Amino acid sequence: MFDRLEDLLIRFEEIMGELNQPDVAANQERFRRLMKEQSDLTPIVEAYREYKKSRQDIEDSLAMLEEENDEEMREMLKETLSESKARVEELEQQMKVLLLPKDPNDDRNVVVEIRAGAGGDEAALFAAEIYRMYVHYAEGQHWRVEMLNADEIGIGGMKEVQFMITGQGAYSKMKYESGVHRVQRVPETESGGRIHTSTISVAVMPEVDEDIDIVIDEKDIRIDVMRASGNGGQCVNTTDSAVRLTHYPTGIVVYSQTEKSQIQNRAKAFALLRAKLYDIEQQQRHDAEAEMRRSQIGTGDRSEKIRTYNFPQGRVTDHRIGLTLYKLDKIMDGDIQEIVDACIAADQAAKLAKMK
């Protein structure tokens, strides 16, 4: 590990030297690449430098203890020694985590798809609530949310909704939301007061940009344009602006009608299709690497029941990590960071255990 850390430190110093060269700024592509590499290396380099300093503090304290006779000074040195040893242990663990292989998609924006499952109208209502939960969470992260498509029902629910979240590290946090979410509560339409169980599915897919080669052959696609339906703004329902794409090889059908312009809806539909095709490719890779899939915390199997929202008891349970929180109202209002952090920590712990 320390040989690798030394190599990373040398590379970091090389990058800093290159960035100070006047010709580098003139080459924007090279400049961006170097800045990205510098940003990626900074946390591990800072931790390693502090680690080396703490190790030096230990050696200095031990040397001074051998020569020091004053009892008060010896106590101070022992305290410094103890603190330095504790910090070294913390930094060793931190560096192990920082050296874990990084998911190449972590910095990408995401396309999220929520679909109502078992439970009829109640499932559609819950799908709309989970959509709003993610919108509030994204706002708290200073991310931007853009609707791609929504199939709404008259009582405020959604049979399905697709939307894009744009922001730094969106996939690194949102990827743990993929799976089946279950709600237990008394529906507003239920006169008998019985608790119903409904489900929705969430799929979180990294946005596909230019550096990912997803080829869509024109002959594999059927493009239909039509008049938008549902609740639309002025002009949305009066022109043939909605776009539906059918991808023959996979059977995927995507639909976009949120914009007034057919061109904009077409662009959104293709963005959603590319994300779905890339997601299929990722899933196939995960299936081929079953052991890696098992070491991940719920980022692979979309049929996995990951979370239960129990309204009568005001609790939310994440079944993958055994976490139960009694703050359902806050979570439904977008306060899911504690769950995300726990999933990240469990994922890292599983990967570290596998490396031993």
Domains and CATH numbers, the chain: 2-98 (1.20.58), 110-350 (3.30.70.1660)
Residue 241 burial (CB count, 10 A): 24
Query: Could you report the per-residue pLDDT of 241-283, keeping only the tens digit for each?
Result: 788 888 888 888 888 887 777 888 888 888 888 888 888 887 7
Cα(115)–Cα(128) distance, rounded to whole angstroms?
Answer: 9
Determine what percent of the chain is predicted with pLDDT higher than 90: 33
pLDDT of residue 295: 47
Task: Look at residues 293, 61, 302 and name the one whose alpha carbon lies nearest to residue 202.
Answer: 302
Element (H, E) at 226: strand 221-226
Measured CA to CA, the distance from residue 354 to residue 234 in angstroms comes to 56
Indicate the Cα dihedral angle 339, 344, 345, 346, nearest 10°.
Answer: 90
pLDDT tens digit string along 157-197? 899 999 999 998 899 999 999 999 999 998 876 666 788 89
- Strand arrangement, sheet containing 242-247: 221-226, 242-247, 252-256
pLDDT of residue 21: 84
pLDDT at 118: 85
* 3-class secondary structure, 202: strand
Q: Sign of dihedral through CA atoms 263, 264, 269, 270? A: positive
What are the residues facing 241 on neighbouring strands?
none
Q: Report the C-alpha gap between 257 and 243 in whole angstroms.
A: 6
30 pLDDT tier (thresholds 50, 70, 90): confident
* Residue in 181, 155, 151, 176 with CA at minimum distance from that of residue 163: 151
189: Cβ–Cβ under 8 A, 6 or more apart, which residues?
121, 122
Query: How many whole angstroms separate alpha carbon 252 and alpha carbon 276?
Result: 8
pLDDT of residue 183: 93
Enumerate the β-bridge partners of residue 158: 152
Cα separation, 263 vs 268, whole angstroms: 9
